[in-house]
Amino acid sequence: MEFVTIGIVTHGQTVPGSIMQLTAQAFEELRGLIQRLCGVALSAEKEYLVRHRLEPVARDHGCASFEELIRKLRGPEALALSDAVVEAITTSETSFFRDGQPFEAVRRLILPALGEQLLARKARLPFVSGPTVRFWSAAAATGQEAYSLAMLVHDHIEAQRGRGVTDKDFSILATDVSEPVLARARSATYSERELARGLTAGQIARYFVRHGDHWLVREPIRRLVTFARANLVQPLNILGPFDAIFCRNVLIYFDDATKLRICLRFHDLLAPGGCLVLGAAENLYGVTDRFEALHWEGTLLYRKPTPAAAPKGSHR
């Protein structure tokens, strides 16, 4: 990653090299607008980040100042401009099998348990078709997390084909707030550098095919994943239930009220016994008691209780 020297603005004082002045009032208004648009709660120390990321957006949309950008965000041009602001502010840092251990939990704990439930359903309802095991990657960025899950699911299917398990029994929904990063995810094409972050040579050979200067995720993996746009802080047009929801390294950007609102939606969309997987630095302590904490070999999972085990008097 390259860094360039640019001017810094502090409470309306412009350091040489900057173009637009960000006043304290404009910064506060932009903080509020950003939180309403995508839920990200920016601290008072993020003034530089806002100016650095939104100044190009303002220029691209014909704004001579941040005050004009704010006016347009509240006017008829708000829809397209809001998308550009969200794209500039949100972070899409990701990699294949990021942090490792949660994926081991999927491979060794979650998938075997769901696989047995699937076979029991098939025996009980042999003529019912369609996916019966569903995963949701709720902040998919450029797709590495969703495809990592798909690789694990694919391996599980191959190991269980002799017992009647097929590709149609599983589905993975991958969503993100940013349409440009979703377009990259849908392309399923990655550079060697991106593959080197989290994948072994054996995994690359097994799950990818060379595509010019890049690598393409193989079709059996791609067809397990469906991509769609979704903003977690806005009403969701998503139907559950899901057996597992991955939402990692996202809640840290939200305030407590937004975290609670999102987690309650996750709870509603999870099947009883389904798991919520958060980032290593995230937890639900003090947010909600609707989930059971499950520790598995260094990984903390949050499970939606089955009706018989649901906590009494839970209100958050």
Structural domain includes residue 165: yes
* Domain shared by 145 and 238, yes or no: yes
The reply to whether 36 and 122 lie within a common domain is: no
Q: Are 252 and 283 in contact (CB under 8 A)?
A: no
Confirm whether 3 is domain-assigned. Answer: no
Q: Are residues 76 and 124 both part of a single domain?
A: no
* 98, 106 Cβ separation under 8 angstroms: no
- CA distances 51 to 20, 61, 62, 63, 211, Å, are 8, 15, 16, 13, 38
- CA separation (Å) from 213 to 35, 141, 192, 216, 248? 39, 22, 8, 10, 30
Whether 138 and 213 map to the same domain: the answer is yes
Residue 116 lies in a domain: yes
Domain check: are 198 and 261 in the same one? yes
Same domain as 134, residue 32? no
CATH number for the domain that contains residue 127: 3.40.50.150
State how far the Cα of 28 lies from the Cα of 22, in Å rounded to an integer. Answer: 10
User: Cα dist. 130→35, 134, 220, 237 in Å?
Assistant: 38, 11, 17, 20
Angle between helix 66-73 and helix 47-60 axes, rounded to 10 deg: 70
Tell me how far apart the alpha carbons of residues 225 and 182 are, in angstroms, rounded to a whole number: 12
Number of domains in the chain: 2
Query: Does one domain contain both 200 and 76?
Result: no
Span of 44-48, 129-133, 252-256 with lowest mean pLDDT = 129-133
Note the pLDDT tens digit of each residue in 157-199: 999 999 999 999 999 999 998 888 899 999 999 999 999 999 9
Kindly state whether residue 46 falls inside one of the protein's structural domains: yes
Judgement on whether residues 219 and 296 belong to the same structural domain of the protein: yes
Q: What is the pLDDT of residues 83-134, one digit of tens each?
A: 888 888 886 778 999 999 999 999 999 999 999 999 998 888 877 777 789 9
Task: Give the whole-angstrom CA distance, residue 169 versus residue 98.
Answer: 25
The parent domain of residue 33 ranges over 9-89
End residue of a domain, out of 89, 110, 141: 89
Q: Any idea what the CATH number is for the domain that residue 66 is in?
A: 1.10.155
Question: Of 33, 57, 89, which closes a domain?
Answer: 89
Q: Is 55 helix (H, G, I), strand (E, B) or coil?
A: helix
Looking at 64, 89, 114, the residue that finishes a domain is: 89
Of the chain, the percentage scoring pLDDT greater than 90 comes to 63
Residues 153 and 74 in one domain: no
Q: Judge whether 96 lies within some domain.
A: no
Do 295 and 163 belong together in one domain? yes
Quick check: is 94 in a domain?
Answer: no
118/247 same-domain check: yes
Same domain, 67 and 116: no
- 95 lies in some domain: no
Q: Using one digit for the tens of pLDDT, what is the confidence trace for 49-89?
A: 899 999 999 999 889 999 999 999 988 777 778 888 888 88
